[in-house]
Amino acid sequence: MWEYTDKVLDLFYNPVNQGTIEPAAEPGVAVVFGEVGSIACGDALRLHLKIKEDQEKILDARFQTFGCTSAIASSSALTEIIKGKTLDQALQITNHDIADFLGGLPEAKMHCSVMGQEALEAAIYKYRGIAVADHDDDDEGTLICKCYGVTEPRIKRVIRDNHLTTVEQVTNYVKAGGGCSSCLADIEDLIAEVQQELAVAAVAVKTAIAEEQGSRGAGEQVVTAAPPLPSAVAPLPLPILTNIQKITLIQQVLDSEIRPLLIADGGDVQLHDVEGDRVLVKLQGACGSCASSNATLKYAIEAKLKDLVLPTLVVQEVGG
């Protein structure tokens, strides 16, 4: 029996925004839907959006879901989250936002929140008349899990987006490997491949930053006749990182430099989100109940991230 939160059970027994949206009859309003999954594989979701065209704002959202308790609750939660948001704001919503809205999902049911995120993306890109590149590639790639029809690109995408490290996690997120198990070795290979790609990308970013800082420093030495006093030296501009680059570097430092030390003392930390220079984390195990958790945040985690990623980062703990 799965351990569901009260919010999950409430939205399962009393789902909101269930059903369809009639084609728009009023000017300046469009209705579109996106769908993912298939009944043959056990879960399917069709998400309907009513959009005010001049503002690209979601006026209403409804869903039709075939699936389990978590699938229905996740779909209902998604409609509540996105109503009133612009399409660009909605595209920033992740499957973790859906799970957090529900107070958490069983790890084995995370694929239900992933399904919601993908249906939302499909609906928005359909409205904008452009191909959903990631999903198109997902459908056309090499089939890895024949039981659930999951392709190599989709598995790699979910590994990358959610920082998955085990086959069990992949199964929880996209069901791949949950049938006959003949694809488990292939999934392990994909995990290793993605981890290698992320590691190479992180090294490349840090190398580029170091080279840029080095070239700036060298340039200043050439044009300066006499080196100024340290207090008079203007600080080098901070490196500009995309959010994906920033998240990748932060995750790398957490996994290689911070988590092993915390785990050795019975604790752990998980990256929850990155909002600008705010790094939101969840302390777990002994760290979560420790009286010195603030010191752990500031000196064990924040100081290391400031040193190895960006000096402007601020680490904050989130509940749950």
Structure tokens at 42: 């056990």
CB 153 within 8 A of CB 137: yes
List of residues 6+ apart from 308 with CB closer than 8 A = 249, 253, 257
Confirm whether 147 is a catalytic residue: no
List of residues 6+ apart from 143 with CB closer than 8 A = 149, 150, 151, 152
Looking at this protein, which amino acid is placed at residue 152? E
φ, ψ for residue 108, nearest 5 deg:
-70, -5
Q: Among residues 112, 145, 183, 287, which one is catalytic?
A: 112
Q: Among residues 41, 68, 147, 290, which one is catalytic?
A: 41
Strands 43-52 and 314-317: unpaired
Q: Where are the beta strands (DSSP E) in the chain?
A: 29-38, 43-52, 57-66, 143-145, 150-151, 267-275, 278-285, 314-317
Place of tokens 């970013």: 205
Confirm whether 112 is a catalytic residue: yes
Catalytic residues: 41, 112
